[in-house]
Amino acid sequence: MTQAKRPVNAVLAGPYGHPFHPILVTVPIGAWVAGFVFDVASRLVDDPGFLTRGSLWLIGIGVVGALAAALVGLLDLFAIPRRTRAFQTALVHMGLNLTVTFAYVGNFLWRQSGGDVNGPVALGPLLLSAASLVVLAVAGHLGGKLAYHYGVRVADEATQAEGFRD
């Protein structure tokens, strides 16, 4: 599986041992979690408009960040040998993340099309955000499995062993 540790394109995917995908995924994860916190908070305060508008912005930022992370992640996928458990795991990881991204695009459009931006976030969009975060957590677990169990885009074992030598 050493092929899965080398980038297809180091300029776009990150150099050996320093992939860009794990860095980029922090943008949508952070934006969508913060957006959910804003959603909940909008239902608890007297003047929720700023939280409702902030959540909409955070969802949009998360979608843009997810698209960037997906493009780089696709390059990492190309490095994984086909017909392996790692490749199958990567396909499920990708499918779940694309599902979440499409759900947030839909959530963004839903909020834009008819929601009151000065009132609290409606229950439907809030529940869609909650469900999307659950799926995102499963996808993140699989991403961790790709990196930490299968070593995708992580330094090979010989390089890792150097860090434990005196």
Rounded to 5 degrees, what are φ and ψ at 150? -90, -15
Query: Which pLDDT value is given to residue 5?
Result: 62
Q: Identify whether the C-beta of residue 86 lies closer than 8 Å to the C-beta of residue 146.
A: yes
Q: How far is CA 10 from CA 7, 13, 26, 70, in A?
A: 5, 5, 20, 16
Q: State the pTM of this model.
A: 0.87
pLDDT tens-place string over residues 108-148? 999 999 767 889 999 999 999 999 999 999 999 999 999 88
Domain boundaries, the chain: 2-159
51/152 Cα distance (integer angstroms) = 38
H helix runs in 4-145, sequence order: 10-13, 21-24, 26-42, 49-79, 85-114, 123-144
Residues 6+ apart with CB under 8 A from 81: 1, 3, 4, 87
Query: Which pLDDT value is given to residue 16?
Result: 65
